[in-house]
């Protein structure tokens, strides 16, 4: 079972990394700012991921100006479900998920509906920069809705569960699955109440789970036993995450991936400033793993993604805490 409460001193002892350390020693040191646009702009991420041979959700279209907003309805008429995202949004803000639509009525995962004007207003807000980094003007990206794999039935509520993997110098060092809940409104965002399930790098199996930073054993809405979670295609997901280093040149990043029912593992987005809650989900600190990778130095012939994944699995595998 879990410890019910962990004190700050215990966190330090476990090698938990704080925001200042992350920003100064890892993001500031290993991420070239000139490369940020590759990951801060979801459209650019999609292009570089596809160029590298990764599968990404199908692009339905892009709305770049207020004059184009009303085109959304024609754009999606042949797509039963779709997602509208601000290209430069952060923290899951501004994402509108539509599972079905008919005669100008759009249905969200919760069953709530919105009309044409509400969809248009959402896009207008995205273009105005309401959801974007620094409040800059933005474009709205319209993507095909991901159909999540049946193996995740019950692990997520009204939303697609995604896998976040922290990649350092091309090595996957820590992973979690983010499972949406009623509290998180179908979004896989831990701050909004999604469940974070720590995943063993070696096996793809659940280690422990948290909601609002508190340990949980079952999904709060479906009652599903979270200890039974096993992510399929785990090695492929790790290799995709690992190869994001070659794609972007960023030394420290978060890679977000999903398992689509038909397409298999997909790259959803990349993040140059990944949050630190993954440590709480895993009940372990990032620092010992990051320092281990730093100690390897830079060999003349750098290992390929497959070799880096095998090494990480060997070094960072852990036992379940359930």
Output the pLDDT for position 6: 60
Mean pLDDT of 144-152: 90
Q: What is the tens place of the pLDDT at every residue in 242-297?
A: 999 999 999 999 999 999 999 999 999 999 999 999 999 999 999 999 999 999 99
Write the DSSP assignment of 228-289 as a string of letters. G-B-TTHHHHHHHHHHHHHHH--SEEEEEEEEETTTEEEEEEEESS--STHHHHHTS-SHHH
- 107's enclosing H/E stretch is strand 105-107
At residue 164 the predicted structure's pLDDT band, cuts being 50, 70 and 90, is: very high
Tell me the sheet residues that pair with 84: 96, 142
Q: What is the tens place of the pLDDT at every residue in 32-77?
A: 999 999 999 999 999 999 999 999 999 999 999 999 999 999 999 9
Answer yes or no: is pLDDT of 5 > 60: no
Q: What is the tens place of the pLDDT at every residue in 293-316?
A: 999 998 889 999 999 999 999 999
CATH for 59-144 is: 3.30.1490
Answer yes or no: is pLDDT of 147 > 80: yes
Classify 59 in phi/psi space as left (phi over 0), alpha (psi -120 to 50) or beta.
beta
| Domain positions in the chain | 8-54+149-316, 59-144
Q: In the structure encoding, which two tokens stand for residue 36, read together?
A: 């940020």
Q: In the structure encoding, which two tokens stand for residue 98, read together?
A: 């539509």
pTM listed for this prediction: 0.92
Answer yes or no: is pLDDT of 4 > 50: no
8-54+149-316 and 59-144: identical CATH topology:
no
What's the chain's average pLDDT? 93
Fold of 8-54+149-316: D-amino Acid Aminotransferase; Chain A, domain 1 (3.30.470)
Mean pLDDT of 180-207: 92
Residue 195 to residue 72: CA distance in whole angstroms = 32
Residue 322 to residue 312: CA distance in whole angstroms = 22
Residue 131 to residue 85: CA distance in whole angstroms = 9
Find out whether 210 and 216 touch, Cβ atoms under 8 Å: yes
Output the pLDDT for position 133: 80
Lowest model confidence (mean pLDDT) among 5-9, 18-22, 317-321? 5-9
Lowest model confidence (mean pLDDT) among 145-154, 198-207, 220-229, 277-286? 145-154
Find, among 173, 176, 207, 206, the residue nearest to 194 by Cα.
176
């Amino acid at each position: 079972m879990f410890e019910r409460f962990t004190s700050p001193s215990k966190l330090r002892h476990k090698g938990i990394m704080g925001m200042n350390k992350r920003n100064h020693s890892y993001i500031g040191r290993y991420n070239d700012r000139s490369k940020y646009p590759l990951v801060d702009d979801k459209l650019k991420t999609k292009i570089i991921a596809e160029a590298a041979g990764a599968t990404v959700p199908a692009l339905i279209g892009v709305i770049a100006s207020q004059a184009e907003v009303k085109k959304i309805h024609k754009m999606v008429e042949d797509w039963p479900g779709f997602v509208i995202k601000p290209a430069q949004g952060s923290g899951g803000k501004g994402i509108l998920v539509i599972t079905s639509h008919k005669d100008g009525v759009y249905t969200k995962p919760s069953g709530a509906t919105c009309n044409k004007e509400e969809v248009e207003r959402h896009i207008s807000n995205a273009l105005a920069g309401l959801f974007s980094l620094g409040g800059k003007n933005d474009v709205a990206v319209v993507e095909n809705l991901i159909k999540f794999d049946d193996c995740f039935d019950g692990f997520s509520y009204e939303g697609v569960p995604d896998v976040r993997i922290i990649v350092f110098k091309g090595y996957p060092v820590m992973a979690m699955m983010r499972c949406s809940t009623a509290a998180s409104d179908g979004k896989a965002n831990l701050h909004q109440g999604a469940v974070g399930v720590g995943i063993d790098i070696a096996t793809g199996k659940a280690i422990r789970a948290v909601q609002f930073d508190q340990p949980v054993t079952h999904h709060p809405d479906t009652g599903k036993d979270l200890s039974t979670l096993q992510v399929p295609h785990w090695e492929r997901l790790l290799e995709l995450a690992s190869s994001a280093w070659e794609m972007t040149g960023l030394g420290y990043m978060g890679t977000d991936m999903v398992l689509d029912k038909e397409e298999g593992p997909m790259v959803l987005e990349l993040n140059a400033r990944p949050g630190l809650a993954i440590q709480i989900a895993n009940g372990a600190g990032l620092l010992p793993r990051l320092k281990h990778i730093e100690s390897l130095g830079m060999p003349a012939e750098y290992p390929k993604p497959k070799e880096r994944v095998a090494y990480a699995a060997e070094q960072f595998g852990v036992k379940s805490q359930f």
